[in-house]
Amino acid sequence: MKEDLYIYDILSDIYKGDSYGERALNRSRAKGGFVTRAVYGVLERDTHYEYVISKLVAKRPKPYAVILLKMGFYMLDYMDSVPDYAAVNRILDCAETLGKGAVKGFLNAVFQKYLSAGVKLPKSPAEKLSVTASVPLWIVNKYISQYGWERAEEFLSKEPFTKQHIRHNARKTTHEKLGEMLKNAGVEYTDSGLGYFVDWGEKLYPLFNGGYMTMQSLTSMKCCLKARVGDGDKVLDMCSAPGGKAVYLSELANIEITCCDLHEHRVELIKKYAERMDAENLKYMVCDCAQSRFSPEYDVVLCDVPCSGLGVAASKPDIYLRRKRDDIPTLAEKQQAILNNAAFAVKNGGKIVYSTCTTLKEENFDVISEFLRTHIHFDLEFSDQYLPDGKGEEGFYVAVLRRKA
DSSP code string of 234-273:
EEEETT-TT-HHHHHHHHHSS-EEEEEESSHHHHHHHHHH
- Provide the 10 A C-beta neighbour count for residue 385: 19
Distance of CA 90 to the CA centre of its chain: 31
**pLDDT in tens for each of the 405 residues of the chain?**
788 998 999 999 889 875 555 666 666 655 667 888 889 899 999 999 999 999 999 999 999 999 999 999 999 999 888 899 999 999 999 999 999 999 999 999 999 999 998 899 999 999 999 999 999 999 999 999 999 999 999 999 988 888 999 999 999 999 999 999 999 999 999 999 999 999 988 899 999 999 999 999 999 999 999 999 999 999 999 999 999 999 999 999 999 999 999 999 999 999 999 999 999 889 999 999 988 889 999 999 999 999 999 999 988 888 999 899 999 999 999 999 999 999 999 999 999 999 999 999 999 999 999 999 999 999 999 999 999 998 999 999 999 999 998
Contact of 323 with 366, CB cutoff 8 Å: no
d(CA 247, CA 266): 15
Q: What is the CATH number of domain 164-214?
A: 3.30.70
> What does pTM read for this prediction?
0.92
Contact of 368 with 401, CB cutoff 8 Å: yes
Please name the helix (run of DSSP H) or strand (run of DSSP E) that holds residue 41, with its range, or none.
Answer: helix 33-44
d(CA 160, CA 356): 20
Contact of 69 with 107, CB cutoff 8 Å: yes
Return the CATH class of domain 218-403: alpha beta
Distance of CA 337 to the CA centre of its chain: 23
Phi-psi region of 316 (alpha: psi -120 to 50; beta: other; left: phi over 0): beta
Nearest Cα neighbor of 257 from 276, 238, 278, 277 is 238
Nearest Cα neighbor of 218 from 396, 29, 78, 79 is 396
DSSP-based three-state secondary structure for 162:
coil
d(CA 395, CA 372): 23
Per the CATH hierarchy, to which homologous superfamily does domain 2-120 belong? NusB-like (1.10.940.10)
Give residue limits of the domains in the chain: 2-120, 126-156, 164-214, 218-403
Per-residue pLDDT of 158-210, as tens digits, reads: 888 889 999 999 999 999 999 999 999 999 999 999 999 999 888 999 999 99
Pairing type for strands 256-261 and 282-286 reads parallel
Contacts of 56 (CB under 8 A, 6+ apart): 110, 113, 114, 119
Nearest Cα neighbor of 342 from 236, 224, 234, 229 is 236
Give how far Cα 3 sits from Cα of 77, 127, 312, 355, Å.
Answer: 18, 34, 27, 39
